[in-house]
A = this chain, B = another copy of it.
Amino acid sequence: MGTTQLESVPEPKYWHLKTVLSEALDSEFSVGEILPNERDLAARFGVARATLRQALEQLELEGRLQRRRGVGTTVAPPRVGVAVGGSEQHDWPGATGDTWQPVDCTLEVPPAAVAAALETGADRPVHTLRRSRTSNGQPVAAELLYVAEASVPDLSAIDAPSGAARARAVLRELQRLELEGRENAVELGSARADDAKELDRLPGAPVLVVTTRYFAGGRVAAISVATYRADTCRLTFGDSGGVEIHQGPERKAS
């Protein structure tokens, strides 16, 4: 027939909008600069605010923008490379050079999946450490580290019932075991309320969840569940977080 299908797959508005904004960010904005507010931007592009927000959400997901309630939308700096299983691949958490900051430590019954992997009983409490990690002064990750009681038997005599001091004591005891290996897994998740608070994000924000199993004595001696801000972090599994590589056009370094 004579019907020429010129635009058989019309691009959604928010998708086109995202492309336009992305190019504008490359050419007309520099890092840290604040964008016009959402109502103005929507009007300028002739779309509803919800549609504009859909585009902004994607750009934020890709680490191009940073939005803060009550403040505004700013151009985000390039993602920081964060070493996760680097040269210290075969060290326990808390070894010298570890970039994590112990926050707290309690004895709690862990989630069922953790108990199963640790091969403790389903209702047995384990040492539950909270640690946090910062980069350039910004919080980038929050961790829950589960250590089986059997892994650090000589602990009880020493220490405080909880708090950072106790956390350090548990980590110190861990170093005495011979680490036979570790295994990382990365998946996408959304921040629980407590992690969100620590990461300075809203609950539900996208995060990269890194689960690490530490092997010693033929068993899983400890499990770490680390929650990284997906918008600001690039996780590196190698020697360095050096060179910047990503798809799409170069970003202005400002």
25 sampled A-B residue pairs with Cβ under 8 A: A58-B204, A61-B189, A79-B187, A85-B237, A111-B247, A111-B249, A113-B245, A113-B247, A181-B238, A183-B240, A185-B234, A185-B235, A186-B234, A187-B230, A187-B233, A187-B234, A188-B206, A188-B208, A209-B246, A209-B247, A211-B245, A211-B246, A213-B238, A225-B245, A225-B247
Interface: A223 (CB within 8 A): yes
- Asked if A113 and B183 sit within 8 Å, CB to CB, the answer is no
A116: which B residues are within 8 A, CB to CB? 243
Contacting residue for A247 out of B185, B189, B204, B235, CB 8 A: B189
- Asked if A186 and B186 sit within 8 Å, CB to CB, the answer is yes
Nearest 9 interchain pairs by C-beta: A183-B238, A188-B230, A184-B237, A187-B234, A186-B235, A185-B236, A211-B245, A237-B237, A113-B245
Interface: A81 (CB within 8 A): yes
Shortest C-beta distance, A17 to chain B (Å), equals 12
- Asked if A237 and B62 sit within 8 Å, CB to CB, the answer is no
- Asked if A188 and B62 sit within 8 Å, CB to CB, the answer is yes
Measuring CB to CB, which residues of chain A are less than 8 angstroms from any residue of chain B? Answer: 15, 18, 58, 61-63, 79, 81, 85, 111-114, 116-117, 181-190, 192, 203-204, 206, 208-209, 211, 213, 223, 225, 230-231, 233-241, 243-250
Q: How many copies does the complex hold?
A: 2
Contacting residue for A61 out of B186, B190, B223, B248, CB 8 A: B190
Bound-complex Cα distance A141 to B248 (A): 18
Shortest C-beta distance, A202 to chain B (Å), equals 9
Given contacts A58-B190, A183-B238, A236-B185, contact A213 B245 (CB under 8 A): yes
Bound-complex Cα distance A166 to B230 (A): 37
- Asked if A181 and B235 sit within 8 Å, CB to CB, the answer is no
